[in-house]
Amino acid sequence: MNEQLYHVSANPHVRDKASTRSIMQDVIIALLPATVFGFWNFGGRAIVNTIICILTCVVSEYAWQHFMHKKVTIKDMSAALTGLLLAMNLPPEVPFWIPFIGGVFAIIVVKQVFGGLGQNFMNPALGARCFLLISFAGIMTNFTSNGPGTVFDATTSATPLAALKAGETVNLTAMFLGTTAGTVGETSALLLIIGGLYLMIKRIISWRIPVCYIGTLGIFVLLFGGHGFDMTYLCQQLCGGGLMLGAFFMATDYVTSPITPRGQIVFGVLLGILTGIFRLFGGSAEGVSYAIIFCNLLVPLIERFTVPVAFGKGGKKDE
């Protein structure tokens, strides 16, 4: 008699033939345009820091799992993706020990201590970025741009958004294309949108979170931005900072975002509201990282109230 065996594993659960490795590969492919542009925009320092981030994350995961006598999972490429995302969130001129500390924190503290892939309660790359921002604020807010020929002085946030918040003129075209100061992977809204569309076409991510996130922030800016229905100001807010990187590549993380359709909509709306509050009424011109991490903590509550009602006994009865 043949028995059919079922595997019971930790989330995220994939409902098709796609593997964790193939999903991670697709996300990395989607990030490549913005990554390559970041290398051109910021030069060799950005390349070296990206390599350090990726190697640190992979080695940290291997070392933890090896010494804790757990199955080594570095082949699923989740650690490599975490390293790439962390590098995309770092200013290009940070010293080499910053990506090392960030990579160790992302993998060991945020991911592995809580059980590894599927058990972490926040996005590892964003958790590491916020840790670095709190610990080394001066280093993490020093932005430069080497490729196009412009060098920016140190600022307290992403330079275009900081200038916008201060009432200065900002070049919208440069923000959309990416020839501005910022972190390595956040400057080109165009290339990040292309990468996000690739993920949606491949059905790696749903449209709900990024569209609801960007749309809600847009409405919030129009209502409370103090510029009325100024479309130029709106587009500057949407193209600036880490919005596109966060909306398409980090808010959609399978582990730390809702799996229910209604939950994803609620999640996206909350992200837009919080980012708007942080940007318009907070001391910083940014706010994406903290908004995503805060909403990561709300995911269990969101899913509790948005889970579909079951059919049959115990389900909702027709009135």
| Per-residue pLDDT, 16 | 54
What CATH number should be reported for the domain holding residue 27? 1.10.3430
> How many domains would you assign to the chain?
1
pLDDT in tens, the chain (319 residues): 455 555 555 555 545 556 888 999 999 999 999 999 999 989 999 999 999 999 999 999 999 999 999 999 899 999 999 999 999 999 998 999 999 999 999 999 999 988 887 778 889 999 999 999 999 988 888 876 555 444 444 333 446 888 888 788 889 999 999 988 889 999 999 999 999 999 999 999 999 999 999 999 999 999 998 888 999 999 999 998 899 999 999 999 988 999 999 999 999 999 999 999 999 998 887 889 999 999 999 999 999 888 877 665 555 554 4
3-state secondary structure the chain: CCCCCCCCCCCCCCCCCCCHHHHHHHHHHHHHHHHHHHHHHHCHHHHHHHHHHHHHHHHHHHHHHHHCCCCCCHHHCHHHHHHHHHHHCCCCCCCCHHHHHHHHHHHHHHHHCCCCCCCCCCCHHHHHHHHHHHHCHHHHCCCCCCCCCCCCCCCCCCHHHHHHHCCCCCCHHHHHHCCCCCCCCCCCHHHHHHHHHHHHHCCCCCCHHHHHHHHHHHHHHHHHCCCCCCHHHHHHHHHCCCHHHHHHHHCCCCCCCCCCHHHHHHHHHHHHHHHHHHHHHCCCCCCHHHHHHHHHHHHHHHHHHHCCCCCCCCCCCCC
CB 284 within 8 A of CB 231: no
| Per-residue pLDDT, 152 | 44
| Per-residue pLDDT, 155 | 39
| Per-residue pLDDT, 1 | 47
Residues belonging to the chain: 319
User: Is 41 within the bounds of a domain?
Assistant: yes
User: Is 138 within the bounds of a domain?
Assistant: yes
- Determine the distance from the C-alpha atom of residue 208 to the mean position of all C-alpha atoms in its chain, rounded to a whole number: 15
| Per-residue pLDDT, 120 | 82
Structural domain span for residue 56: 20-306
User: Is 11 within the bounds of a domain?
Assistant: no
User: Is 147 within the bounds of a domain?
Assistant: yes
| Per-residue pLDDT, 156 | 39
State how far the Cα of 47 lies from the Cα of 185, in Å rounded to an integer. 11
